[in-house]
Amino acid sequence: MFDKEELEKIKEGTKKYDEKVQKSLQKFPERKEEFKTGGGLPLERLYTPAHLEGRSYVEDLGFPGEYPYTRGVQPTMYRGRFWTMRQYAGFATAAESNARYRYLLEQGQTGLSVAFDLPTQIGYDSDHPMAQGEVGKVGVAIDSLADMEVLFDGIPLDKVSTSMTINAPASVLLSMYIAVGEKQGVSADKLSGTIQNDILKEYIARGTYIFPPKPSMRLITDIFEFCSTHVPKWNTISISGYHIREAGATAVQEVAFTLADGLAYVEAAVSKGLDPNVFGRRLSFFFNAHNDFIEEIAKFRAARRLWAKLMKERFGVTDPKALMLRFHTQTAGSTLTAQQPENNIVRVAIQALAAVLGGTQSLHTNSFDEALALPTEKSVSIALRTQQIIAYESGVANTVDPLAGSYAIESLTNEIERQALEYINKIDEMGGMLRAIENGYVQQQIQDAAYNYQKAVESGEAVVVGVNRFTVDEQGEKRELLKVDPKVGENQVKALQEMKSRRDGEAVRRALEVVRETARDESRNLMPAIIEAVKVYATEGEICGVLREEFGEYQENIVL
């Protein structure tokens, strides 16, 4: 980026600077012997163009909207339109969640994001013994199409983009969404949104899996295939680094393991005969925005560049849209503290700003009280206003990739890409991501990183304001918290039983049998059979129950 003569001058100037620093340190020592990012990457005292020696602007950065997309996936980025402000919400019943969605849309939110309760996430109806005590607690309970109809009542599905955080039963919930659209008069090709549909990270970090890897991958590629023809505006997977980071991974590990998961999905789809130039356009990613501001911005840029290279070099992808890493970001739930929770407003603002400067396509900002309970309307409103202030008042959205060219940002972008690729190559040597998960390698790496961070917090090396420094006595302080009605589970079970009494039982039986027959034939796509089953009000638990019988259930290998 600089000619040799200029670089030599910079290097000579750096030597003189270092000599001055050494004299200064005798009087004014630095705060630490060694400075690192939150993810453990060493930080230089000063970055100069010499740190970028040998790099090419055209090849390594390029221009926004052009390969390798380091500077963003759109030519004008937020000068054209802002990122989608998508607040994640869902609790108790479908009716209560619907009321929250309407409130958020009235407040200026531009996309919906559905949180499902734990039974829904693992394919159990609310009346199943495994669901007892969990119905509606961490998200909305959805047992059947009847619940989905209520959830989106009065919300035109051709006017909003909806993200659904659902994985093992993603095919069932997507089928319900398609059916609701049809009832509204909105054809499937008009629907836009995303399903998470990322089962590999469930095996790694989260645990809401149902089936073993092979049939799980079949379900995922069936969705790819079906949507490429029938629901072309739908993002068929959101390959998630968010939960990997929440489990304790570093920034480098978040990039590496997320992209390695992505490679496994692409390989599975290609082996099924699907064209990565086609389904690659509808792949999306989901990243965490953590506390280390500079590292996080560099992380997003490195991930985007590395994915474009991998798709081009490994799979011969030529379609520009299939090379783009488009991603949603959520601020880091693991950084929220129950102590002095108002401090979380500042943390979320910094994390959200990093996501925007890193070029995110959509963003969820956590509410400050989420370490204590589900967020109240007031705290959700503050979280949304945080995004709106960044968009409309900060000025950072008025020029594309404003921090590009920062020697520190570019150096960290290069280092994160380099180390992430080392992880990916090691996983390749093991036989791919499925094998690396099966032998516990990925889980162990994350556990080690989480353990090291916790030691740093406990020793005081890592400062958490309000927790291990700058603490205050908060005893007796009253806070307004959202409480879910304890009768939610009882009421949901009653509504489920009433729905079952009204539906055509024989039609349900026949539809479930078609699901079973289709599951037994690997050459057939399961999506049409599941869609027909949900239309006659077969429940999620009934459909997943059939698939459990045919596919079996995954048993985790415990990593010690």
pTM of the model: 0.93
Preceding omega of 276 cis (within 30 degrees of 0): no
> Which candidate, 427, 385, 114, places its Cα nearest to that of 256?
427
Distance in angstroms (rounded) separating the CA atoms of residues 379 and 374: 10
End-to-end CA distance of the chain: 48
CA dihedral defined by 457, 462, 468, 471, rounded to 10 degrees? -160
**What are residue 428's phi and psi, to 5 degrees?**
-60, -45
**Residue 377 near residue 103 (C-beta atoms within 8 A):** yes
- In three-state secondary structure terms, 405 is coil
Distance in angstroms (rounded) separating the CA atoms of residues 432 and 441: 11
What is 423-448 written as a DSSP string?
HHHHHHHHTSHHHHHHTTHHHHHHHH
**Residue 353 near residue 331 (C-beta atoms within 8 A):** no
Distance in angstroms (rounded) separating the CA atoms of residues 155 and 103: 11
Radius of gyration of the chain (CA): 24
In this predicted structure, what is the pLDDT of residue 1? 61
> Which candidate, 145, 153, 207, 146, places its Cα nearest to that of 172?
145
In order along its 560 residues, the chain shows pLDDT tens digits of: 678 888 999 999 999 999 999 999 999 999 999 999 999 999 999 999 999 998 999 999 999 999 999 999 999 999 999 999 987 766 678 998 899 889 888 888 878 889 899 999 999 999 999 999 999 988 999 999 999 999 999 999 999 999 999 999 999 999 999 999 999 999 999 999 999 999 999 999 999 999 999 999 999 999 999 999 999 999 999 999 999 999 999 999 999 999 999 999 999 999 999 999 999 999 999 999 999 999 999 999 999 999 999 999 999 999 999 999 999 999 999 999 999 999 999 999 999 999 999 999 999 999 999 999 888 889 999 999 999 999 999 999 999 999 999 999 999 999 999 999 999 999 999 999 999 999 999 999 999 999 999 999 999 999 999 999 999 988 877 788 777 777 889 999 999 999 999 999 999 999 999 999 999 999 999 999 999 999 999 999 999 999 999 999 998 766 55
In this predicted structure, what is the pLDDT of residue 92? 76
- In three-state secondary structure terms, 554 is coil
- In three-state secondary structure terms, 527 is helix
> Which candidate, 317, 375, 354, places its Cα nearest to that of 104?
375
**Residue 36 near residue 42 (C-beta atoms within 8 A):** yes
In this predicted structure, what is the pLDDT of residue 89? 67
Q: Which residues pair with 239 in a beta bridge?
A: 285
Q: Where are the beta strands (DSSP E) in 275-400?
A: 283-289, 327-331, 362-364
In this predicted structure, what is the pLDDT of residue 138? 84
Distance in angstroms (rounded) separating the CA atoms of residues 505 and 508: 5
- In three-state secondary structure terms, 51 is helix
Distance in angstroms (rounded) separating the CA atoms of residues 547 and 515: 8
In this predicted structure, what is the pLDDT of residue 560? 53
What is the three-state SS of 374-400?
A: CCCHHHHHHHHHHHHHHHHCCCHHHCC
pLDDT in tens, 101-124: 898 888 888 788 898 999 999 999
**Residue 7 near residue 53 (C-beta atoms within 8 A):** yes
Distance in angstroms (rounded) separating the CA atoms of residues 412 and 41: 8
| Residue that has been written with the tokens 């589900």 in this structure | 374
Q: Which two tokens stand for residue 156?
A: 């035109």
pLDDT in tens, 151-163: 999 999 999 999 9
Burial label for 281, CB within 10 Å (0-12, 13-18, 19+), is: buried
- In three-state secondary structure terms, 323 is helix
**Residue 367 near residue 383 (C-beta atoms within 8 A):** yes
- In three-state secondary structure terms, 31 is coil
- Which residues are within 8 A (CB) of 182 and not within 5 positions of it... i.e. 6 or more apart? 188
Distance in angstroms (rounded) separating the CA atoms of residues 229 and 210: 27
| Residue that has been written with the tokens 């790496």 in this structure | 445
Burial call 294-305: b when 16+ CB within 10 Å, e when fewer? bbbbbbbbbbbb
Helix or strand run (H / E) with residue 507: helix 505-520
